[in-house]
Structure 1
Amino acid sequence: MSARRRGLRRLTGHVPQPLMIGAGILIFFIVLAVGAPVIAPYDPIYQDISARLAPPSLVHPFGTDNFGRDILSRVIWSTRIDLQIAFLGVIFPFIIGTAAGTIAGYFGGLTDTLFMRLIDIVLAFPFLVLMLAIIAILGPGLASFYIAMALVGWVSYARLVRAQILVLKQSDFAMAAKSLGFSHWRIMFRHLLPNALIGSIVFAMSDAVLVLLNGAAISYLGLGVQPPTAEWGIMVAEGQAFISIAWWIATFPGLAIVLLAFGFSLLADGLGEKLGVRP
């Protein structure tokens, strides 16, 4: 039985508690993101100077910021941006790294050597420093962040997939496919890759935590999402100056970051436990 079929069979059995809790947290944030226009009580960029720095109350459950903007509404609307950061910041490195790892592992030889040396070059630089350098060259904004994540984050997926392909290409079903005269691309992407993706998918759930935190950090430094757009990292940065007199400005978006990151972590742990893969 192939690794893909074993993985699908495991999914039909008992669901680990971390997987259920993590999925529940993620679904909760997705509902907030989709229903933001209905759920949020105020416009996230509407300014009411008469209500500036108002503490949490029935009118403003999470209080207001220094411009009188409702924190609860801004946290809810920020969910759209931060979920986008988590998903797109993972999917681009996932696609690039998966393709590179598959090609390197399958063909081996000089192709594998060149890919591995390129990986060594990328890993020689600290992750965040290299990412900041790329964003500084391209200019601030989410597009630059996604490009930086794709150029830096693909190496982990490439190494994971390459290791799986090196093992799978020696298996009986791969040898049978070669003996039947199938093309290299068909063997790689139709027979080998589906069986090699399980570990990468589990890692992607865990990697989403790092991407989310990096996205918040980039916005905190002023290189990501630009004001007045509501985003958790920006809100934490704006609340830093008022932390002693208006703790709620930075606290609630910070808690949202922690909760969503916790959800992705539980999802990765539960999925790894379910599929028998260590995240």
Structure 2
Amino acid sequence: MSEPAAIAASGTRPRRGLRRQGTLVAGAALLATFVFLAFAAPLVAPYDPIAQDAAVRLQGPSFLHPFGTDNFGRDILSRVIWGTRIDLQIAIIGVIFPFIIGTTLGTVAGFFGGMVDAVFMRLVDIILAFPFLVLMLSIIAILGPGLSSFFIAMALVGWVSYARLIRAQMLVLKNHDYVVAAVSLGFSRTRIMFRHLLPNTVAGSVVFAMSDAVLVLLSGAAISYLGLGVQPPTAEWGVMVAEGQPFVTTAWWITLFPGLSIVTLAFAFSMLGDGLADRFGVHE
């Protein structure tokens, strides 16, 4: 029996396809749950996330407060639910702008080459000469603490990976026959870059964006933990972990549940990225 026939008989490909589909669906479903919580926070959260009640401060998980309360008597479950809004913004918006900037610059540099590509690569080398988190903290320190400063810092630093990825693929694809034919037909460079080449190179960047969302989420939580991101009393998971650190041995629930939320959302993006990678055949 030939190898293709043996594979078909054993059912390897259907099982592999089912695994691919299962990972993609599971990641999308988990992410959709967080999106639902973000939009439905006013309806789902049992309490006001910033309302303080000294009478119930530092109470453990109970029927009235399933995730317990913090040192100000605020309901942890409500703060976790409301924090979904902020952390989803961090993960999504923090990826969109670097994606757009990096994709555009990488496309132009890879297509034109020459001096344009040389200048682009020197700019990339300058940014990569500094550790990512150190450069982020420096920019935010200059702009001032806040979510907008974080997004600006991500846009200025995070585009490099997307640009390098697109540039590498563009250098290969621009010499293919269909590009030569498009040039012969008199198509403009802009049309060739963004209508013929970019659709064939962007799949890898979309997959990378899912993994990058995990890094952005963790970076946002870390910067909020350091006091340079979202400012209290806004409910944000990194802020909640920082607020619960002094009570980690006596009121573990303050840090546990927002920490688990960060890990779970990161896992959702990771599964979605893995499913998309298999779907687009990026690893093959």
Report the TM range for the smaller structure's normalisation. over 0.9
Tell me the distance in 1 between the aligned counterparts of 2:238 and 2:273: 23
Tell me the distance in 2 between the aligned counterparts of 1:33 and 1:109: 47
Partner of 2:157: 152
Tell me the distance in 2 between the aligned counterparts of 1:227 and 1:116: 40
Q: Indicate which of 204, 207, 226 corresponds to 1:202.
A: 207
**Post-superposition offset of 1:235:** 0.1
Amino acid at match of 2:52: Q
Tell me the distance in 2 between the aligned counterparts of 1:273 and 1:195: 16
Amino acid at match of 1:109: G
**Post-superposition offset of 1:262:** 0.7
Partner of 1:78: 83
Q: Indicate which of 173, 178, 183 corresponds to 2:183.
A: 178
Unpaired stretches in structure 1, ≥5 consecutive residues:
1-12
Partner of 1:53: 58
Tell me the distance in 2 between the aligned counterparts of 1:265 and 1:123: 24
Query: Given the alignment of the two structures, is residue 228 of structure 1 paired with residue 233 of structure 2, yes or no?
Result: yes
Amino acid at match of 1:115: F
Q: Indicate which of 249, 252, 270 corresponds to 1:244.
A: 249
**Post-superposition offset of 1:264:** 0.7
Partner of 1:219: 224
| Equivalenced residues, count | 267
The alignment's TM-score, normalised by the length of structure 1, stands at: 0.94
Unpaired stretches in structure 2, ≥5 consecutive residues:
1-16
Tell me the distance in 1 between the aligned counterparts of 2:76 and 2:24: 30
Matches within 5 A, 1:3-82: 15-82=20-87
**Post-superposition offset of 1:245:** 0.9
Tell me the distance in 1 between the aligned counterparts of 2:146 and 2:179: 44
**Post-superposition offset of 1:270:** 1.2
Tell me the distance in 2 between the aligned counterparts of 1:27 and 1:90: 18
Tell me the distance in 1 between the aligned counterparts of 2:76 and 2:206: 34
Deviates more, 1:161-170 or 1:252-261: 161-170
Partner of 1:189: 194
**Post-superposition offset of 1:258:** 0.3
Amino acid at match of 1:225: V
- Greater radius of gyration (CA): 2
- Taking only aligned residues, the RMSD between alpha carbons, in angstroms, comes to 1.1
Query: Given the alignment of the two structures, is residue 272 of structure 1 paired with residue 254 of structure 2, yes or no?
Result: no
Amino acid at match of 1:48: D
Structure 1, residues 212-271: CA drift from partner, whole Å, max 9, x if none? 000000000000001110000000000000111100000000000000001111111111
Tell me the distance in 2 between the aligned counterparts of 1:225 and 1:67: 18
Tell me the distance in 2 between the aligned counterparts of 1:278 and 1:51: 52
Partner of 2:13: none
**Post-superposition offset of 1:172:** 1.6
